[in-house]
Amino acid sequence: MLILSIILFGMIIGAAAQALLPGRRNQRVDWTMAFGAGLIGSFVGGLLVSLIAGDGLAIRPSGIIGSIVGAMIVTVVWRGVSSKR
């Protein structure tokens, strides 16, 4: 059940990152990118911001904001790499 929760949270964060970035406003969510960016961004960004804020590993707003920012960075990099191909 925990693994399913992590996957769902990552996909929601990745979709939110795609929606917040400028550009592709009227296009559908790329769920593969949402999954990858959400998991990687949540792990790196969320963990880093939570530890810097002193919240530890508990789920706090700082970690969620860090997850979204991390997913946005991963999405921008992913789009940049895929557009060069």
* Structural domain count of the chain: 1
pLDDT (0 to 100) of residue 58: 66
Encode pLDDT of 26-45 as tens digits: 678 888 888 888 888 888 87
pLDDT (0 to 100) of residue 56: 67
Tell whether 4 is covered by a domain.
no
Domain limits for position 70 = 35-85
What six digits make up the tokens of 45? 């960004």
The rounded distance, in Å, linking the Cα atoms of 63 and 53 is 9
Encode pLDDT of 12-25 as tens digits: 988 888 888 877 66
What six digits make up the tokens of 25? 């406003």
Q: Considering only CA atoms, which of 9, 8, 3, 20 is closest in space to residue 46? A: 9
pLDDT (0 to 100) of residue 26: 64
pTM (predicted TM-score): 0.78
pLDDT (0 to 100) of residue 24: 63
The rounded distance, in Å, linking the Cα atoms of 73 and 57 is 21
